Each structure stands twice: as C-alpha cells, then as structure tokens.
A and B are shown apart, each in its own frame.
Chain A
C-alpha cells in the first residue's frame, strides 16, 4: 500500500560556516510526537540540521536526529558545548543539559528564522497547534494552544493524505487548483471531516475539490485560535503545515494578513530556538 502520509526526511549542512575555530558550538533537539529535529549552531550561526520522523522511542529518535545533523561534518557530540531539548519528548534527549518548553523555543526560533519584526507565530505541529505573541527578542508575551484535538494538526493532514490518496507534500498545491471554493468539511473533527470527504469522493468530486474543502476546514479551525489571541503583524507560520500552500493561503485570506515567506525548513523552528537558548546558556555557564 502506498504511504501518502509519509513526508520526506531531510538534512542540511552550511557551506559557509565552519566549526574548527568556533568559540561556542550549541545544539537544540526538538522531539515532537510526529517529527524530531536537531539543529547545530556555530557561534550563533546556523551550521546544520536534520528533520526525521519520530520513532517509537524518544531517546532513540533524539540520537538519530543528532547523528544525522553531525554526519559527514567531522563534528562529534563531545565537541558540542551545550544542548537543549524541547518538544513533547524533551525529557528524553539523553545528551541534553537542559530542557526548555516548546512555546519558548518556537518563539525564539521564529525570531531567528523570520527576523525580529515577527510578533505573531502560528506553529502547526504534528499533534498540536499553537499561537504565540512575542516581542522583538523572540520572548513569549502570550500564547494559546490546542493539543486536545487532531483538527488543525499535522496528524489530521496525514489521515487525509491517505484517504484521498495524494502525497502529503502535494496536497496544498493541488487544493488550490479549483475554480471556486467548495464549502469546507467539518472544521471541528478530523473523524467527521473524513466521513464527509469519503461521501464527497463517492459522489464523484475530483480530488482537488475534496482537498480544497479540507484545507479550508483546517484554515477555519486555526483562524479561530488566531483570532482569539489576536494577530499582530508581522505574522509567521512554523511547523510542517507551513509548507502546505493550500492551508497557508486560506489562513491569509481569512485574516486579510500575509504570512512572511519562510527562508528555511519551517519544521526546525523549535530545535533552532533550543539551540539559540543553548548558545546563551553555554556562554553564561562559561563552557
């Protein structure tokens, strides 16, 4: 059976930054319920990262992500001065000196990723969705979170990829190929949305139309959360769903606000924030 939900794991190493003369080498590992990322910074500059699917064991996933970020760089775990763990499985990062909540890390990471003008961050993760308001230093001012329900999360998107039979990375673009927006399916429950979508498919709706109805429901769901906290510009989206143009465009249309264009893999925001905290901690603790 084809696995439409399977998104691509990835890694990246900078060609410009080198670790040999580094003063501070710091790392952040974000063990999420669906994906795990490791980020390595050299004196506060992005050096390498990895992004993998979380396996059944959090410590193993953390180690695997870290090894992938280190692979081929000549750098080893012992040379890293400070590591911070974050995410749902943050207590299970065996080589981390400290843990910091994902809310703080996402705000910090988004500040680095999108610049200091970011005031509102929407993080759409694997099993939760959060809205964070932050200041110019990436410090959290307030936040709201839905972690009770799969509607508006990556897990919900995975369920839909398999139902419609479209690769998860292609769903968003495909959903934009409709002439007219269909009414959204249930925005409150993935199970009901799935049952509605099944009947639409049986009725002969083309895949892109069903996907449009689903992406619209996802957008509607997170807009409720966004509007509850209030959206101040600049507005940025992190997490895996930031890669889905079908959902991002519809969120922007609802809000009448454009999201900043991402310059790097949006899934690494949490680990990036953790690595930034690790860099300051390394300096403060004189490592």
Chain B
C-alpha cells in the first residue's frame, strides 16, 4: 500500500510518499502566504520523485501546526505522535527526540518500543526555536546555511546576554560594531539557543540516545552546541526536517482513513 504524510510547518511543508516501510519520494515547499498551494507543491514533488501517480496513494495523513487548514487531504495526527513514530522508525534506539522547527520546539521522551512517555513544547517564545537563528543570521548578514559551518570555525567563548530575539538582534548589531569575529558570534548564537533547548528537554529528562530532528537538525553548528550543552552525543537522521512527515506516512499505513 502506498501512503503519504504531509507536515505543514510554519516555514515549510514537507511531504513523504512511502510503500511498505520504504521512502519512495520527498518534497518540500516554503509555506509563504499560501498554505494549501505549498502543500500541493510539496506533495507533487514527492510523487514525482517516487514516480507514483497520485491515484495510487491510498492513504494520506497530515500533521504540523497548519494541519487544521488541510484536513480535507486526509486524517490528521499531532506533531508529537508523528515525530515519535518517524524518529523511532529512522533511529530505533531513540529515547529522547528533540524537534526544533521554525516556530515551535519540542522534546519527546520515548520508551524502548517507541511509545511517547512524556513531552514538552515551546510555541510561546521565539528565542527557543529556529526563528532565533534566522533572525540572528539576518543581523549578522550571513546566509542561514552558512551559520553552522561558520560557528565551527570558532574556538572562543562569547556569551550573549539578551534572551529575547528582539533584544538579541540589537546585541548582535553592537557586537558587529565592536568587531567581534563573525565565527565567534555565530557560536555564541548557537550556544545560546542550545542552552535553552537543553533546558526545555531536561523537563522530560534526557536519556541516551538523543535524536535531533526538524529544520535546525541541518545546522551542524547548533548540533555541536547542543551536544556540548547536554553532554551527550546527538544523532541526526538523514533529512531531519522530513521526520514528522515520515511518521505521518507510516501511521497512514496503520490506520484506516479518517480515523
């Protein structure tokens, strides 16, 4: 049976087409102002990559913060359920799943069978989500993709005082004026958000193995800061931003449509 999972995030929509536990195709599109358009685009891309016509997809499940607008596509599952399913599938030994998206972050504790034991979410403050790094990259005038490699080039420890994104922007501008080297600032930025994410994850208790998913999983600078902050190795699966969609596609194969 061919199934699909579509994850409507704040910044991007991710789609996965699967068959018998195998990922056939992936698609991604920026959300912008048109959520459903982005959903169609991501899904079409995944279908193209999978070389599967849309009619052959038997079941679709949607997830993500924008899922309520898109339930016409299929049933829906919460991000927690989808993340847990996807992370356990990709990294079976996962016990702590940390998902850092553009506007939401969460930590989920799993038992050895992949069941959710506990979770915590932050959707109240942008200082603890991917939007923080985006805003800081803009203030530094560095491409978002460059932030990670840039911060790995630093061995200094610069501390940021501001927590709030709005205040941190001013602090970064002052640091630029004070000619603080950009790699040191990039590292300070990743250290700051990593400490906040680690503090959030400690609320559920961090157990080995720790898996990082979501868009920030692609940032090697953040990965390094996070593993330093929690004092454990952190695993990032291939395509960390697709994990929620993978979980939804897997669950679509287990549940009758609409349930």
Contact = CB atoms under 8 A, between A and B. Distances in A.
Interface residues of B, number: 17
B203 to A, nearest CB: 17
Contact of B164 (A56, A149, A195): A149
B126 interface: yes
Contact of A155 (B10, B126, B167): B167
A36 to B, nearest CB: 16
A188 B174 CA distance: 25
A188 B125 contact: yes
Interface string A176-207: 00000000001011111001000100100000
B154 interface: no
B166 A195 contact: no
B163 A191 contact: no
A150 interface: yes
Nearest to B128: A189
Interface string B38-50: 0000000000000
Nearest to A146: B164
Interface string B132-175: 00010000000000000000000000000001111100000010
Contacts of B10: 195
Contacts of B53: none
B103 interface: yes
Nearest to A158: B166
A188 B131 CA distance: 15
Given A56-B177, A192-B126, A150 B164 contact: yes
- The interface size bin for chain A is 10 to 19
Contact of B166 (A156, A186, A199, A202): A156
B132 to A, nearest CB: 8
B76 to A, nearest CB: 20
A148 interface: yes
Nearest to A201: B33
A175 interface: no
B124 interface: yes
A195 B167 contact: no
Contacts of A149: 125, 163-164
Contact of A191 (B135, B174, B177): B135
Contacts of B167: 127, 150, 155
B166 A148 contact: no
Contacts of A245: none
The interface centre, meaning the residue of A150, A189, A190 with most chain B CB atoms within 10 A of its CB, is A189
B166 A150 contact: yes
Contact of A199 (B33, B125, B164): B33
B126 A189 contact: yes
Interface string A103-143: 00000000000000000000000010000000000000000
Contacts of B163: 148-149
Nearest to B134: A191
A189 B10 CA distance: 15
Given A127-B167, A190-B164, A192-B126, 9 more contacts: A56-B177, A148-B163, A155-B167, A156-B166, A188-B125, A189-B126, A189-B127, A192-B125, A195-B10
Interface of B: 10, 33, 103, 123-127, 131, 135, 163-167, 174, 177
17 contacts: A148-B163, A149-B164, A150-B164, A150-B165, A155-B166, A155-B167, A159-B166, A188-B124, A189-B125, A189-B127, A189-B165, A190-B126, A190-B164, A190-B165, A191-B131, A195-B103, A195-B131
